[in-house]
Amino acid sequence: MTKREEEVLNLIKENPLISQKDCAAILNISRSAVAGHIMNLSEKGYIKGKGYILKDEPYAVVIGGSNMDIQGSPSSAFISRDSNPGTVHVSAGGVGRNIAENLSRLGISVKLLTLLGNDLYGKQLLEDTKSAGVDMNHVKILNESPTSTYLSILDEKKDMISAISSMSIMDNFNTDYIDRNHRLINSASILVIDANLPGEIINHLISKYRNMAIFIDTVSTAKAEKVKDIIGRFHTIKPNILEAEVLSGMKIYSLDDMKKASLVLLDKGVKRVFLTMGEKGILYSDSDQSFLYKSEPVKPVNTTGAGDAFTAALTYCFLMDYSIIQTLDFASSASALTVLHEDTINKNLTVEYIQKMMKGDK
């Protein structure tokens, strides 16, 4: 039991009906952090009762895209502009959907708002995501639009060469759908969105839920363009170098440039920046500190789901009130475990599995 968990447990012992809000005020931490500590205490067996505080289960809401991923990988060195012998793999994907599934596999209650077509891919995505523990009761099914698909080509090293996303269904995201789910969103401990959403919807969300901690996955340079003028409204962002260039409006050639770009984003209002650089590490920055973090490299099998796992892990760590170093260790390990699996999602991803990875037990 951690020191903070002990403090929460002592408050519950004194008043079994104490609210999470009162707990947070007494300990000077966030309500979502209290919820995370209570979850840990329950899992460890310290809390077995059914007091009011235990009924108020924390959950995350993820709003974003769901795709069927179709991935091709060559058997030998990739030859451009030619037919390459290899394998084609189909799996459930989509940035928002992937983040939601990863969160669920980490033990977080998560509700997904997304659009699916009333077709074979849509039905498969619905079933696969439900079976992973994600609440899909609020998904919108459309008869007139096909489910999104994402086609990617990897090279012989399993790094992505190029990809095409067919996501016209996302144009049907509207504010009515968001507003019908207002109570669900407003009661969440955290809101995670991906930049596949239409700009109008992103603006609507950050305006309506400005008092919530909102994490965004910028997805790509093209999608980052949609949020560059409002990026300061988000709590946590995880851009790569190219996305950071778009968001900051400056070119990045060196570590010093990365620090300057991160400072630009912080000055706009972002609370935390995790600037990812692949094998070169992660530059973390907030109002108090900025430093380069590196983890042990792994030989990837499939790199396409690494960022989604990282974002999910950042969300988990925020809810659990982890320190920044704990967060970087945990998120990097979650990402590493994901690239070691052939699917976009590592079905074996659990907190215990990540902790073993952190200890070097691969």
Split at pLDDT 50, 70, 90, the class of 2 is confident
| Domain match, 16 and 76 both | no
Split at pLDDT 50, 70, 90, the class of 23 is confident
The CATH number given to whatever domain includes residue 66 is 3.40.1190.20
Q: Read off the pLDDT of residues 311-358 as tens digits, 9 standing for 90 and up.
A: 999 999 999 999 999 999 999 999 999 988 877 789 989 999 999 888
| Domain match, 147 and 72 both | yes
| Domain match, 27 and 149 both | no
The stretch 282-287 carries a mean pLDDT of 97
| Measured distance CA(97)–CA(92) in Å, rounded | 8
Contacts of 212 (CB under 8 A, 6+ apart): 186, 188, 190, 191
Lowest mean pLDDT among 48-52, 85-89, 244-248: 48-52
| Measured distance CA(73)–CA(299) in Å, rounded | 16
| Domain match, 24 and 91 both | no
User: What is the per-residue pLDDT for 50?
Assistant: 47
Q: Read off the pLDDT of residues 118-169 as tens digits, 9 standing for 90 and up.
A: 999 999 999 999 999 999 999 999 999 999 998 989 898 878 898 888 999 9
The stretch 77-87 carries a mean pLDDT of 94
Q: Among residues 32, 55, 78, which one ends one of the domains? A: 55
| Measured distance CA(245)–CA(303) in Å, rounded | 22
| Domain match, 182 and 315 both | yes
| Domain match, 70 and 87 both | yes
| Domain match, 51 and 64 both | no
| Domain match, 259 and 309 both | yes
- Amino acid sitting at position 57: E
Q: What is the mean pLDDT of the chain?
A: 91
Contacts of 100 (CB under 8 A, 6+ apart): 60, 62, 110, 111, 112, 129, 134, 312
Q: Among residues 19, 40, 55, which one ends one of the domains? A: 55
**DSSP alpha helix (H) spans, the chain:** 3-14, 20-27, 31-43, 52-55, 95-105, 120-131, 175-180, 182-186, 199-208, 221-224, 241-248, 255-268, 306-319, 324-339, 351-358
Q: Tell me: pLDDT of 210 over 50.
A: yes
The stretch 181-204 carries a mean pLDDT of 95
User: What is the per-residue pLDDT for 361?
Assistant: 59
Q: Tell me: pLDDT of 51 over 70.
A: no
User: What is the per-residue pLDDT for 55?
Assistant: 39
251 Rama class: left (phi>0) / alpha (psi -120 to 50) / beta: beta
Domain count, the chain: 2
| Domain match, 283 and 246 both | yes
Lowest mean pLDDT among 60-69, 128-137, 152-161, 179-188: 152-161
Q: Read off the pLDDT of residues 232-272 as tens digits, 9 standing for 90 and up.
A: 999 999 999 999 999 999 999 999 999 999 999 999 999 99
Could you tell me the two tokens for 263?
């400072």
User: What is the per-residue pLDDT for 88?
Assistant: 93
The model's pTM is 0.80
| Domain match, 25 and 153 both | no
User: What is the per-residue pLDDT for 302?
Assistant: 67
For 32, the domain range is: 3-55
Q: Among residues 55, 71, 91, which one ends one of the domains? A: 55
| Domain match, 201 and 157 both | yes
What is the DSSP track for 288-311? S-EEEE-------S--TTHHHHHH
| Domain match, 165 and 250 both | yes
Using only the alpha carbons of the chain, give its radius of gyration: 20
The stretch 169-187 carries a mean pLDDT of 94
The CATH number given to whatever domain includes residue 49 is 1.10.10
| Measured distance CA(186)–CA(179) in Å, rounded | 10
Split at pLDDT 50, 70, 90, the class of 58 is confident
